[in-house]
A and B are shown apart, each in its own frame.
Chain A
Amino acid sequence: MSRPFPEAAREALENTQLRHNLRVATHTIRAKRNAVVSEVPDWEALRDRGARIKEAAMRHLDVHLEQLERSVTAAGGVVHWARDADEANATVARLVREAGSSEAIKVKSLATDEIGLNDALAREGITAHETDLAELIVQLGHDRQSHILVPAIHRNRAEIRELFRRELAGTEDLTDDPPALAEAARRHLRERFLSVGVGISGANFAVAETGTVCVVESEGNGRMCTTLPRVLITVMGIEKVLPRFADLGVMLQLLPRSSTGERMNPYTSLWTGVTAGDGPEAFHLVLLDAGRTDVLADSIGRQALHCIRCSACLNVCPVYERTGGHAYESTYPGPIGAILTPQLRGLESAPTLPWASSLCGACYEVCPVKIDIPSVLVHLRGRVVREAKGDGWRARIAGERLAMEAMARVFGSRRRYEAAQRAARAGAWPLSRDGKIERRLPGPMAGWTQARDLPAPKESFRDWWRRERA
Chain B
Amino acid sequence: MSTEASRPRTLGDVRVALFITCVNDTLFPDTGRATVRVLERLGHEVVFPLEQTCCGQMHANSGYQLEAVPLVRRFVRAFGDPSFDAVVCPSGSCAAMVGDQYARLADLSGDQKLVGAVAALAPKVHELSQFLVDVLGIEDVGAYFPHRVTYHPTCHSLRLLKVGDAPLRLLRNVRGLRLVELPEATTCCGFGGTFAVKNADTSTAMLTDKLRSVLDTGAEVCAAVDNSCLMHIGGGLSRQRTGVRTVHLAEILAGTE
The residues of A with any CB-CB pair to B shorter than 8 Å are: 5-6, 9-10, 13, 19, 318-319, 322-323, 354-362, 364-365, 378, 381-386, 400-401, 404-405, 407-408, 410-414, 417, 421, 424, 436, 438, 444-445, 447-448, 450-457, 459-466, 469-470
Contacts and interface: CB of A to CB of B under 8 A. Distances in A.
Contacts of B235: 448, 451-454
Contacts of A323: 202
A121 B159 CA distance: 45
25 contacts: A358-B191, A358-B203, A359-B156, A360-B159, A360-B192, A378-B63, A381-B62, A382-B66, A385-B62, A385-B63, A401-B64, A408-B71, A412-B70, A412-B71, A417-B54, A445-B197, A448-B235, A450-B200, A452-B235, A453-B234, A455-B27, A457-B29, A457-B30, A460-B29, A461-B33
Interface of B: 6-7, 9, 20, 22, 24-33, 36, 48, 50-51, 53-54, 56, 58-68, 70-71, 74, 101, 155-156, 158-160, 186-188, 190-207, 231-232, 234-236, 238-239
Contacts of B58: 407
Q: Which among A10, A361, A410, A461 has the greatest number of chain B C-beta atoms within 10 A?
A: A461
B155 to A, nearest CB: 4
Contacts of B159: 360-362, 364-365
Most-contacted residue by chain A among B32, B33, B53, B232 (CB, 10 A): B53
A383 B197 CA distance: 21
Contacts of B63: 354, 378, 381-386
A99 to B, nearest CB: 46
Nearest to B68: A408
Contacts of A410: 53
Nearest to A428: B27
A318 B188 contact: yes
| Minimum-distance CB pairs A-B, first 7 | A358-B192, A452-B235, A447-B200, A385-B63, A381-B63, A360-B188, A461-B32
Given A318-B187, A465-B6, A358 B204 contact: no
Contacts of A319: 199, 202, 206
Contacts of B194: 355
B202 A9 contact: yes
Contact of B195 (A355, A364, A386): A355
A318 B50 contact: no
**Of A13, A357, A469, most B-chain CB atoms within 10 Å:** A469
Given A356-B199, A408-B64, A460-B29, A450 B204 contact: yes
A6 B199 contact: yes
Given A410-B53, A448-B200, A461-B25, 7 more contacts: A358-B155, A359-B195, A362-B155, A364-B159, A436-B238, A461-B33, A462-B48
Contacts of B6: 465-466, 469-470
A438 B33 contact: no
Contacts of B30: 457
B187 to A, nearest CB: 6
Contact of A378 (B9, B60, B196): B60
A358 B206 contact: yes
A321 B9 CA distance: 51
A414 B206 contact: no
Nearest to B6: A469
B68 to A, nearest CB: 8
A386 B33 CA distance: 40
A50 B130 CA distance: 31
Contacts of B48: 462, 465, 469
Contacts of B64: 382, 385, 401, 404, 408
B197 A414 contact: no
B188 A411 contact: no
A365 B188 CA distance: 13
A453 B239 contact: yes
Contacts of B191: 358
Contact of A13 (B188, B201, B238): B201
Contact of B32 (A407, A424, A464): A464
B62 A404 contact: yes
Given A452-B207, A459-B29, A469-B7, A359 B202 contact: no
Contacts of A322: 202, 205-206
A354 B61 CA distance: 10
B24 A13 contact: no
Contacts of B231: 452, 454-455
Nearest to B73: A412
B242 to A, nearest CB: 12
Contacts of B67: 404-405, 408
Contacts of A361: 155-156, 158-160
B160 A460 contact: no
B50 A462 contact: yes
Contacts of A356: 199, 202
A281 to B, nearest CB: 51
Contacts of A444: 197
B63 to A, nearest CB: 3
Contacts of B20: 461-462
A197 B218 CA distance: 63
A424 B26 contact: yes
A362 B190 CA distance: 13
B239 A318 contact: no
B53 A408 contact: no
A457 B158 CA distance: 28
A460 B198 contact: no
A469 B71 contact: no
A333 to B, nearest CB: 14
Nearest to B205: A322
A411 B56 contact: yes
A407 B59 contact: yes
B61 A378 contact: yes
Contact of B53 (A6, A378, A411): A411
Nearest to A381: B63
A453 B233 CA distance: 10
A448 B27 CA distance: 15
A141 B145 CA distance: 58
Nearest to A404: B64
A384 B70 CA distance: 21
Contacts of A451: 200, 204, 207, 235-236, 239
A355 B199 contact: yes
A13 B51 contact: no
Contacts of A438: 238-239
